Amino acid sequence: MLFWLSQSISELGSSMTGFALILWAYARTQSAMTVSLLTFFSYLPYVAVSLFAGAFTDRHRKKPILLWTDSIASLCSLTVLALFFTGKFEIWQIYLVNAVTGAMNAFQLPATAVAVGRLVPREQYEKVSGMNSFSKSMITVATPTLAAFASSFFGLAGVLAFDLLTFFFAFSVLLFRIRIPEHRAHREQTERRHLLTDCREGFRFLVSRRGLLSLIFSMAVMNFFSNITYENILPAMILSRSGQNEMTLGVVSGLIGFGGVLGGLIVSFVKLPENKIRLIYFSAAFSFLFGDVLMGLGRTVPVWIVAALAASVPIPFVAAGQNVILYHTVPEEIQGRVFAVRNAVQFGTIPLGTLLGGALADYVFEPFMKSRSPLAVTLQKLVGSGSGSGMAVMFLCTGVLGFLLSVCWYRSRNLKSLREK
């Protein structure tokens, strides 16, 4: 519990910094592509480094990995703070900082996943997944409000200072209060093997299990659609369609987090169905159909709130179903390698989706919806006209495609071996 609390508080600080930087960058450029590039430069190094980070994680103790990666990420925040105070802060520097923190996440996430697997009894995996979704969603709820509050009183520097304080808290707790069990004999055995051998082992494990590989590939496609719209251009669309009202964006973002909190609580305290494949794909289909589509059709805050809840409540069910399958399928001694390969595959589509989403918004859909073509006029009857209408159409596209693919994957024969896990 203490480990979970310290990591959640640290993540809150970094999330507030990320949100404040998005507002800072968009206010200066008014470009959805700028927001997309912030995510792109976070995930591209993350995906590239993940190919080797899992093997590295399995070969070394998890606690030092977490301490070092947190420290380097905090140095990035300190660098931004120094540049801001000296008046030399520019958008390209945010891209560089995001690239460094993304690379650190490639080591931190598999190390955290393995640590959780060792600190928590097997029968508690579902509840832990629910609590993890709960904490991430609470952060999503709190981030816009706290970041806006800190920015209004202390500016960007205040948000960065809070980020550094949360780092010192999490670092101290992990250093002095948390003991992560290590399997010394296995670690010494892996240290004698070549790093590339361990990397290939993670790939071989997934390739030899078609059902598991299909599950991860389907999650990658879902991430692709999500990062074209929801995880990418949502702030730009809401700001464009609300007259640059940051409070409206804060409300919608907060409700997305609240929906995740609600879903996480349900996952934590309610027994989930035995068929985890049905749980995953039915939840994903619901999120795409009633979340993305309604978000695109909506033009007022109440409709966006309903869409935010419909999109976010099912996500903890998707995460819990996948986590249970992974922990029950992957042997503990190779979890770091397999989880890292999973991260590289599953999150590898995020940079592509992010760049594509920003480019489509700025150069395709927004200009198209300002034209007088018959299709544009028809779509305007659904989503309205003006700034942000093109991005709204993008939400309709990802919603329909995501729903159809979720249904198709549920019926896939490749997943038959996982249906009862």
Give residue-wise pLDDT tens across range 75-99. 888 888 888 888 788 888 888 888 8
Find the CATH number of the domain harbouring 242: 1.20.1250.20
d(CA 76, CA 346): 26
**Residue 355: which domain range?**
2-418
Given this model, what pLDDT does residue 3 score?
62
Least-confidence region, from 17-21, 55-59, 220-224, 411-415: 55-59
Q: Rounded mean pLDDT of 248-253? A: 83
Least-confidence region, from 103-107, 146-150, 158-162, 237-241: 146-150
Q: How far is CA 247 from the centre of its chain?
A: 23
Q: What is the pLDDT of residues 162-209, one digit of tens each?
A: 888 888 888 888 787 777 766 554 445 555 555 566 667 777 888 888
Given this model, what pLDDT does residue 420 score?
53
Q: What is the pLDDT of residues 362-373, one digit of tens each?
A: 899 999 998 889
Q: Rounded mean pLDDT of 147-163? A: 77
User: Which of 303, 302, 284, 285 minimizes the C-alpha distance to 294?
Assistant: 303
Least-confidence region, from 117-126, 142-151, 278-287, 408-417: 117-126
Q: Is the pLDDT of residue 74 over 50?
A: yes
d(CA 143, CA 286): 25
d(CA 55, CA 39): 25
d(CA 334, CA 326): 12
Helices 32-59 and 195-207, packing angle to 10 deg: 110
Given this model, what pLDDT does residue 54 score?
67
Given this model, what pLDDT does residue 313 score?
92
Q: Is the pLDDT of residue 221 over 90?
A: yes
Q: Rounded mean pLDDT of 149-153? A: 71
Q: What is the pLDDT of residues 277-317, one digit of tens each?
A: 889 999 999 999 999 999 999 999 999 999 999 999 999 89
Buried b (16+ CB within 10 A) or exposed e, 168-198: eebbebbeeebebeeeeeeeeebeeeeeeeb
Given this model, what pLDDT does residue 140 score?
63
Given this model, what pLDDT does residue 61 score?
79
Given this model, what pLDDT does residue 120 score?
63
d(CA 375, CA 393): 11
> What's the number of domains the chain is made of?
1
Mean pLDDT of the chain: 81
DSSP per residue over 90-124, as a string?
-HHHHHHHHHHHHHHHHHHHHHHHHHHHHHS-GGG
Q: Are 319 and 268 in contact (CB under 8 A)?
A: no
* Residue with the larger pLDDT of the pair 143 and 158: 158
User: Is the entire prediction scored with pTM above 0.75?
Assistant: no
Contacts of 406 (CB under 8 A, 6+ apart): 218, 222, 281, 282, 284, 285, 288
* Residue with the larger pLDDT of the pair 413 and 367: 367
Least-confidence region, from 113-127, 239-253, 289-303: 113-127
Given this model, what pLDDT does residue 193 score?
53
d(CA 335, CA 406): 26
Q: What percentage of the chain carries pLDDT values higher than 90? A: 21
